[in-house]
Amino acid sequence: MAAKPMMMPKTTFVPPVIGHRGACGHAPENTLVSFRRAAALGVRWVEFDVRLSRDREVVVLHDEGLERTTNGGGLVAEKDWAELQALDAGAWYDEEFSGARIPSLGQAISVLAELGLGANVEIKPGPGQSDETGRITAARLRAEWPATLPPPVISSFDSESLKAARNTAPDIPRALVVSKIPTDWRNRLAALGCTALHCNHKHLSPGQAGEVLDAGFALRCFTVNRAARAATLFGWGVETVITDYPERMPA
């Protein structure tokens, strides 16, 4: 039986540590086995990436192309879901994970529900697919996200995807992802109705952190793999670090 969709608040509690693409320091990124490894390490939330197949399935994969993390080739947007599902997404990482598959968003949600994991779902649209990817992903999350899990966060570097997600499911919290914090960050967050800013920790200063927090937004950083750096960021008021190695982070 399908889980009943939940009514989602505009804000949600996000824990201090999120597993990056599952726990990709220990298992092939963006796979169900990576989510399970994250849960085994005590993680309460994971981050993963989604994009569209040619036949408009929402699939969990970071890159536009298939070469880096599967035994396939070509663009995800030019493959149907059945073709993608047949690929090996684990052997590239280690023979131990041979046979791991690219998950669909639905499959990911089922495993998250089983494990009790919350999620930051990052939209990675293909060229010309910003609106469609944001709209379809948000609609699926709104319809299928189970009430047993904390509300998810939708994030993206792509403003058009976030705008489409906002228009489709305004009750799901959103975060703008940036590498360096731009000068117009306040206007962009306000225009997109975001509750948080996600940035590369390497380019963040304590002054910038203070400005974001004083403006009433949550601040989360990627990809933080050193405990000392995480402690520094937490000292600046950063809410959450996204990490390949969750077990290394301060308790």
User: What domains appear along the chain, each with residue ranges and CATH number?
Assistant: 26-161 (3.20.20.190), 173-251 (3.40.50)
CA–CA distance, 44 with 172 (Å, rounded to integer): 19
Q: What is the pLDDT of residue 12?
A: 73
In which region does residue 237 sit, left (phi positive, over 0), alpha (psi from -120 to 50) or beta (all else)? left
31-44 tens-digit pLDDT:
999 999 999 999 99
CA–CA distance, 69 with 81 (Å, rounded to integer): 16
Q: At what angle do helices 130-144 and 159-168 cross, to 10 degrees?
A: 40
What global pTM score does this model have?
0.95
Structural tokens at position 99: 């046979």
Looking at the annotation, which residues are catalytic?
20, 62
Q: In terms of residues, how long is the chain?
A: 251
Burial label, 115 (beta-carbon count in 10 A; 0-12, 13-18, 19+): middle
Q: What is the pLDDT of residue 2?
A: 44
pLDDT beneath 70, residues of the chain: 1-11, 251
Q: What is the pLDDT of residue 1?
A: 41
Query: Beta strand pairing status for 58-60 and 45-52?
Result: antiparallel
Strand partners, 49: 122
Positive or negative CA dihedral for 46, 49, 54, 58? Answer: positive
Tell me the Cα Rg of the chain: 17
Q: What is the pLDDT of residue 11?
A: 52
| Residue 155 three-state SS | strand
